[in-house]
């Protein structure tokens, strides 16, 4: 490894480190800084900007934020709250299941923010450390992205895999089953190996004596807005329409042929249409949509993907030949190594879609995968869930939100960065999902 490669690697990792330290939207800013230094100082050609990923995220956020302003997101969370409070003993299973489902439907894990106070309150009532169901829910919300029909990551991966002979409904089915099963198996294992008695936690006892532990109830007791249920119905119908349309134009089915509107354009236009209908029929004030938490976090995600994915693509494209050679040898010998590559890349690139966009083309080229030689494409299907390692560095918004909202102090970040409540559940869930993925593709 010569000095130039070392310098480029230092700039790549350094820009990511600076972005993570600054936090929030600054992660994307720092990605742009890294591209400038790599290009102007170290002579690397800027990579491709993932516009398709960014635009799909923007379209999804447009529809979801309109639904939130109409009261629909609060209604969905309120229904979920009833389920959690009705069966409090099963909080360790219901919390990740509900977080996973909301993510599947909405295409964003940010929906779990509103559930966190409820999970904390229910866990307290059962003398369970809130860190257990909270960490499971956050991990489920991240891994659920790889099974959501309206997420940018799934849209990209299905677009790559369909020309290789994979059926769209089969792909969605595999990822839904394997990710959900992985979340539930992880919940079972974590519940067995984790000391859950809240009353025995020393930090909780200290905070309790100091009067810092409060009830998190009654946060979702307001009346539904007039258009809440209608907005949910419109959005869920749109998600169903996306799945049906993508199935109808699938190469293996071809119910619609010729295809006038390609899938990416259809998904974006469907979501924008949903936003229009919600705004008009539910009498939402467009200006107020910009103030919703979903819109703000969603636009932050767009900027982060813009900067970090551009930086990642610049570095990967600049060393594509070497990466192809190494990746080709490792993945051919041990297919599960692809999951390891996805895992570490997503830890740095901070986005499931950006990770897939950066790594998949390199692997396809390295293994010589094509429409005439699709045999090794099964690895991509089986390992896809591993792009969800956004929990490793304790800086992701939903992870930080869980830490901040848990007034018992059980959901905390240790002195060594990686020793936090989300690490073990996250690694377990990804490992199990990948193992189930290989099992599922082997049965097809």
Cβ neighbours around 172 below 10 Å, total? 19
Contact 111, 97 (CB under 8 A): no
pLDDT of residue 217: 54
Q: 221-242: per-residue pLDDT in tens?
A: 567 788 899 999 999 999 899 8
Q: Percentages helix, strand, coil for the chain, rounded to the nearest 5? A: 75, 0, 25
pLDDT of residue 221: 53
DSSP 305: I
pLDDT of residue 413: 79
Contact 315, 37 (CB under 8 A): no
| CB burial string 22-60: b at 16+ within 10 A, e below | eebbbbbbbbbbbbebbeeeeebebbebbebbbbbbbbb
Looking at mean pLDDT, say which of 1-5, 233-237, 298-302 comes out highest.
233-237
Cβ neighbours around 125 below 10 Å, total? 14
Contact 116, 99 (CB under 8 A): no
Domain residue ranges of the chain, discontinuous segments joined by +: 1-46, 47-443
d(CA 62, CA 295): 7
d(CA 370, CA 197): 53
Residue of 427, 401, 429, 428 whose CA lies nearest to 115: 401
Residue of 383, 405, 401, 379 whose CA lies nearest to 391: 401
d(CA 176, CA 151): 13
Q: How far is CA 390 from CA 139, 336, 344, 386, in A?
A: 9, 19, 9, 10
219 band by pLDDT with thresholds 50, 70 and 90: very low
pLDDT of residue 272: 94
DSSP 98-126: HHHHHHHHHS-GGGGGGGHHHHHHHHHHT
Contact 189, 429 (CB under 8 A): no
pLDDT of residue 218: 47
SS3 23: coil
Q: Looking at per-residue confidence, does 318 or 193 come out higher?
A: 193
């Amino acid at each position: 490894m010569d000095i130039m490669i070392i310098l480029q690697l230092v700039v790549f990792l350094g820009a990511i480190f600076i972005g993570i330290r600054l936090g929030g939207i600054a992660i994307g800013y720092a990605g742009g800084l890294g591209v400038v230094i790599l290009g102007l100082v170290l002579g690397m050609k800027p990579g491709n900007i993932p516009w398709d990923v960014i635009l799909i995220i923007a379209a999804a956020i447009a529809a979801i934020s309109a639904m939130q302003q109409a009261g629909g997101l609060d209604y969905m969370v309120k229904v979920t709250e009833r389920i959690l409070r009705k069966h409090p003993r099963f909080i360790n299973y219901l919390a990740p299941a509900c977080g996973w489902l909301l993510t599947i439907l909405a295409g964003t894990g940010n929906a779990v923010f509103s559930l966190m106070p409820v999970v904390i309150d229910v866990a307290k009532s059962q003398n369970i450390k809130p860190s257990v169901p909270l960490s499971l829910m956050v991990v489920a919300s991240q891994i659920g992205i790889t099974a959501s029909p309206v997420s940018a990551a799934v849209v990209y991966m299905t677009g790559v895999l369909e020309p290789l002979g994979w059926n769209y409904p089969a792909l969605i089915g595999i990822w839904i089953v394997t990710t959900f099963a992985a979340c539930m198996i992880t919940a079972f294992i974590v519940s067995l190996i984790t000391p859950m008695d809240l009353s025995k936690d020393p930090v909780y006892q200290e905070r309790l004596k100091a009067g810092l532990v409060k009830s998190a109830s009654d946060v979702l007791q307001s009346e539904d807005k007039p258009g809440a249920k209608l907005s949910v119905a419109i959005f869920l119908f749109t998600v169903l329409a996306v799945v049906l349309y993508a199935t109808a134009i699938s190469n293996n089915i071809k119910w619609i042929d010729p295809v006038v509107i390609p899938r990416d354009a259809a998904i974006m236009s469907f979501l924008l249409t949903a936003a229009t209908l919600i705004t008009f029929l539910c009498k939402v004030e467009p200006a107020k949509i910009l103030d919703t938490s979903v819109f703000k976090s969603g636009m932050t995600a767009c900027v982060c993907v813009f900067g970090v994915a551009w930086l990642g693509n610049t570095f990967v494209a600049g060393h594509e030949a070497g990466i192809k050679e190494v990746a080709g040898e490792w993945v051919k010998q041990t297919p599960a190594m692809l999951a390891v590559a996805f895992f570490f890349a997503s830890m740095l690139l901070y986005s499931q879609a950006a990770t897939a966009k950066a790594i998949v083309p390199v692997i396809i080229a390295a293994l010589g995968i094509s429409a005439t030689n699709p045999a090794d494409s099964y690895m991509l299907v089986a390992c896809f869930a591993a792009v969800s390692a956004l929990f490793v560095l304790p800086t992701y918004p939903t992870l930080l939100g869980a830490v901040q909202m848990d007034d018992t102090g059980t959901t905390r970040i240790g002195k060594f960065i990686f020793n936090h409540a989300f690490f073990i559940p996250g690694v377990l869930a990804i490992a199990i999902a990948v193992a189930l993925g290989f099992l599922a593709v082997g049965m097809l």
